[in-house]
Chains A and B, each alone.
Chain A
């Protein structure tokens, strides 16, 4: 059984999934606080917090997305969504108002993306590419909005290497850009600079920008030493980004010019995911990376000055 891991940090804990169990780690004691079992021991490949550490969303290979309530030591699944999707595309979550989220997820039919509203689970729309577009399956999703209250927009990376910008409310393609020759493995977008980055199984990182006409343009590409990127995350302060590489390494770049800053060499197998914590003190923010070697590494990136 492949060990699929997702990791992220919040102020206190770090969550990691393994063997279908979600472990909530206490970063003070470095021990597991709770282990959550909600996906029938099928591997879990996506874990997200929903505002604070009390609510949690997880997506597993049992084709379900579970919502967890962890407040006051509870460990119960409050709700679940059956996706019917068989791929590895992680869902994307966007908070639109207090207690209301939009969630984008790959749907049952191969090319479709479905947008749900949480917690009501009502379907907002289904994004279906034009007939004959041959985009393939969605590989990665990123829901975002320019500012609170404005139109939510979805960026989706597809199997054929293209990144598509969807207008969620109209269900229309705004722009399409072919960034890679291979499937897009991961993407992240900085709405402030209107710039995004995507990685695939190739040796290249592609940076693209969104102009005022809502058109995606290739801004720059960055050549890598080893091929294969499984995850890309821009730090919430938009200064640096981290990539999880198939070459077992985590790479840190400056976001502005994509200047390589560090190569973190620890894992002995493919790194699956990278995630930044959003601690209030910048010095205490951490980077977590999960890897196939069954380890999660937690890094302190900020220099202590």
Chain B
């Protein structure tokens, strides 16, 4: 189809169609016109606009009923004309507007909307929409004069009805969009921006519609979800646009006091006009508040995120434009906004955050006292309800409640202090926090979990800043805790730190019920005050004063580390009497003595339940975490506080409760990081003067001894050899303290001594141990080498000679060997040792070891088994440390011997076992020095007891393995083998041992004893394979031996040819092992050797 560019050409083309339409108003004609219109260019059509519109309008205006289809096509045609042209005349606009509206008007008789087809309605709405867009610049404003108010009102009510009552989604949306255009708030950019006066005028005008529009819209918004999200979104948008326009603070501020008088001819209309005075504003705001509440309620939980997003926009828009006029509604609006911060949809979330940020940045809240009031009121009611909500809601509910709380605080920002200064507000808030943070203290495991024994590896891998996971009574979700932390931090960030610290310290001291929570809150407050980990919307006005912070921290620390709060009962170990208990105990005894009274604080306590202990443990942990927090907050400044803080923390690091010691280690790591130390070790070494001072002071008071020793213990476990010179003094103090209280505190001090010795072994003991091992290794290979040489006659001869000389040595006949002599010296005359001592000064660690060993001698015969066991452990370590200093070790060994022998012979099997261990270590280091004593003092008794017990155990039933006698037997058998090997015993002693153990190879013995006896023989095989072989073969000989030469006697062993008996199995097993050990050669060599 040709395109008509010029008006003339277009006119030529359109004229017949228009004439035709004027004559007969049929759908067909309208369609023809529309078809022709498509071929006319926009510019040309503009010229012909009125001409073309005329027949269409005429057709519409023809009185009488019309076909709906006709009307629809007419309206569509009009709208297509309008879409391509623009309306330049005011009259045309108004007429068209009213004509279009009339199309939808109901018959004058009925009050209901005309029962028109949906297509028609849609067409009219779209035509109106197009009309509004095609109106040219100022022309459109002519529609917004007081005189056109009825017309506008008519249109508005029409559209509202459509939006509200129509079923079709499309119509609803179009109607709402059309309305939006109608109130001059179209989204598109084409419109001219209204200047202030014009906007004011429109605001006046629209004020008349506000009630109708807002009510209708709120119904639309709150309508069934089934209508889909789009109408709701449009309705919300329209709602806030119109409210924002009419109730705009800027406009309201300019409203004159009294109503303007309009010219007389408009008097009727002027009645319709509304004066937006203060009274009107107030009442409207009240009504709107109700509506807004409804809107917020329904849309904040709307399932579609776009609706919620639009709600956010609503709050934003109103807050920006109407923060004064609608102040009462903001309690709902802000609640919605803050609540949506945690929306599941990320877009809503980010938008919310952005808006909150913007609000804070523009200081909308800060500058508006009324808003602060609203917020603080919200805060108040929320904190009142918080405990209940926390109790009843599920985790998601809790999260949203708390984020609401957090949002309020953040919005208040620096104005928080206004809230905090009100006693009731502060009290509510703090009580709520305290109640919500209540810990669950029913877990028994926490009380039970003990630090694994002190000798374990140094725990260097301490995680920094890791907090212990806490279990709360009212929630389990981690997110909830994070929110609560944020709440506290934000409080600390903005709030008056002195006030807050003072208040929560008050709670802390008020009742044991609040203590843990208050401490937790205090920790977070301080963290927040320093601005660490706070998520805030606007920076505070006054930067933090470091001195204030330091002052607060110091006072909190003092309180935390106060006796009554730091030393709590965390366990009721009966065995090693937990430090706290012993403190209590000794505290009483001290009080009886009338010396110290401060310890009394602890004594009169009701019986301690697991619950209280758990609670105490947590309290200590929280306080420890607090110390870590404070360190992190103060950084290097914390160094000054180390003087008072380091000691208690180390004390707790040595606590026996796992949780406490772990937390304390975490705290230490925090301190290291804060003060710039590379490791805990550095921290301890560099500050050892503080610690040593504390220890030496506390060691002087009985009640504190246990704790002081804990500190030393921890120091030792986390440091290295460089610490030794620093703590030598203190070790001496410990020893002298021990000297004064052997009875009561022995076990406490033994723990320290144990850790001292463990540390010494670790720091200084290693090289000697290695040396020793290589020594042994060499001798081992040497003996192997000797035996693996293939036998020649010379060698056989030499073997005999060796054998003879060995035998003589064993019998004590031939003491000429150098080695022997050297060993003999210390035995015969111990005096030369003291001379040696004078020559080479002992290294300090060896001195310590010697001093400790000295104490061990006294304590070896302590009444308590536990103490004796511990002493034996310590003794073993002492021996290891002293090993390289034989001149000192041997005299000490000499002195230890009698006490040790008593342990070996007549003590509990456990002690015997340990004593054996000590003996083995001693044997390793002292070697021959002990041989004779052992064979004289110990061996006879051991063998005889073994022999006498054997028949008992052989006969005994299964219960026997639980008896002491059994354990003793087992212990002896298990230890004897290695001992013989270590001590390099003589043949006669070995025979004794072998004889005693042989009966335990019987199958009648309990299996464990059999195994232990086997182990003895395995050791004996190492020492003297030949005689062992012979002995075993005497019992049972599996095979016969042919002499290699006729001149030799046939071998006759008493074990040959015996029937199978109780020993056979074990002996065969041992022989087999012997065979393996010796390889191929020894079998023949022994065979040749034995007959001699």
A31 touches B700 (CB 8 A): no
Docked CA distance A91–B732 (Å): 36
Does A28 touch B at the CB level, under 8 Å?
Answer: yes
Docked CA distance A28–B637 (Å): 13
Docked CA distance A30–B694 (Å): 12
Does A266 touch B at the CB level, under 8 Å?
Answer: yes
Docked CA distance A265–B696 (Å): 13
| 0 or 1 for each of B688-725: is its CB under 8 Å from A? (1 = yes) | 01100100000010000000000000000000000000
B640 touches A28 (CB 8 A): yes
B700 touches A29 (CB 8 A): no
Does B643 touch A at the CB level, under 8 Å?
Answer: yes
Docked CA distance A28–B690 (Å): 12
| 0 or 1 for each of A253-290: is its CB under 8 Å from B? (1 = yes) | 00000000000011000000000000000000000000
Interface residues of A in 210-237 (CB under 8 A from B): none
Docked CA distance A175–B78 (Å): 135
Most B-side CB within 10 Å, residue of A28, A30, A266: A30
Determine the chain A residues whose CB is within 8 A of the CB of B640 once the complex forms.
28-29
Determine the chain A residues whose CB is within 8 A of the CB of B690 once the complex forms.
30
Docked CA distance A158–B299 (Å): 101
Interface size class of B (residues with CB under 8 A): under 10
Q: Nearest chain A CB to B554's CB is how many angstroms away?
A: 12
Closest residue on chain A to residue B643 by CB atoms: A30
Chain B interface secondary structure, helix, strand, loop or mixed?
helix
Closest residue on chain A to residue B733 by CB atoms: A268
Determine the chain A residues whose CB is within 8 A of the CB of B643 once the complex forms.
28-30
Q: Nearest chain B CB to A13's CB is how many angstroms away?
A: 15
| 0 or 1 for each of B640-652: is its CB under 8 Å from A? (1 = yes) | 1001000000000
Q: Nearest chain A CB to B611's CB is how many angstroms away?
A: 35
Docked CA distance A223–B266 (Å): 120
With A28-B640, A30-B643: A266-B700 Cβ-Cβ less than 8 Å: yes
Q: Nearest chain A CB to B598's CB is how many angstroms away?
A: 12
Docked CA distance A31–B693 (Å): 12
Determine the chain B residues whose CB is within 8 A of the CB of A29 once the complex forms.
640, 643
| 0 or 1 for each of A47-89: is its CB under 8 Å from B? (1 = yes) | 0000000000000000000000000000000000000000000
Docked CA distance A31–B642 (Å): 12
Determine the chain B residues whose CB is within 8 A of the CB of A265 once the complex forms.
700
Q: Nearest chain B CB to A14's CB is how many angstroms away?
A: 13
Determine the chain B residues whose CB is within 8 A of the CB of A30 once the complex forms.
643, 689-690, 693
Determine the chain A residues whose CB is within 8 A of the CB of B700 once the complex forms.
265-266
Docked CA distance A29–B693 (Å): 12
Docked CA distance A30–B643 (Å): 8
Q: Nearest chain B CB to A25's CB is how many angstroms away?
A: 11
Docked CA distance A266–B690 (Å): 17
Q: Nearest chain B CB to A232's CB is how many angstroms away?
A: 25
Closest residue on chain B to residue A265 by CB atoms: B700
Docked CA distance A265–B640 (Å): 29
Closest residue on chain B to residue A297 by CB atoms: B697
Docked CA distance A29–B700 (Å): 23
Docked CA distance A168–B643 (Å): 48
Q: Nearest chain A CB to B1043's CB is how many angstroms away?
A: 78
Docked CA distance A266–B700 (Å): 8
| 0 or 1 for each of A1-39: is its CB under 8 Å from B? (1 = yes) | 000000000000000000000000000111100000000
Interface residues of B in 658-716 (CB under 8 A from A): 689-690, 693, 700
Interface residues of A in 143-202 (CB under 8 A from B): none
| 0 or 1 for each of B96-107: is its CB under 8 Å from A? (1 = yes) | 000000000000
| 0 or 1 for each of B619-648: is its CB under 8 Å from A? (1 = yes) | 000000000000000000000100100000
Closest residue on chain B to residue A32 by CB atoms: B689
Q: Nearest chain A CB to B1085's CB is how many angstroms away?
A: 66
Q: Nearest chain B CB to A261's CB is how many angstroms away?
A: 15
Docked CA distance A202–B689 (Å): 36
Determine the chain B residues whose CB is within 8 A of the CB of A266 once the complex forms.
700
Q: Nearest chain A CB to B119's CB is how many angstroms away?
A: 90
Interface positions of B (Cβ within 8 A of A):
640, 643, 689-690, 693, 700
10 cross-chain CB contacts under 8 A: A28-B640, A28-B643, A29-B640, A29-B643, A30-B643, A30-B689, A30-B690, A30-B693, A31-B689, A265-B700
Interface positions of A (Cβ within 8 A of B):
28-31, 265-266
What are the 5 closest A-B residue pairs judged by CB atoms, nearest first?
A30-B643, A30-B690, A29-B643, A29-B640, A30-B689
> 7 more A-B contacts (CB under 8 A) besides A28-B643, A29-B643, A30-B643?
A28-B640, A29-B640, A30-B690, A30-B693, A31-B689, A265-B700, A266-B700
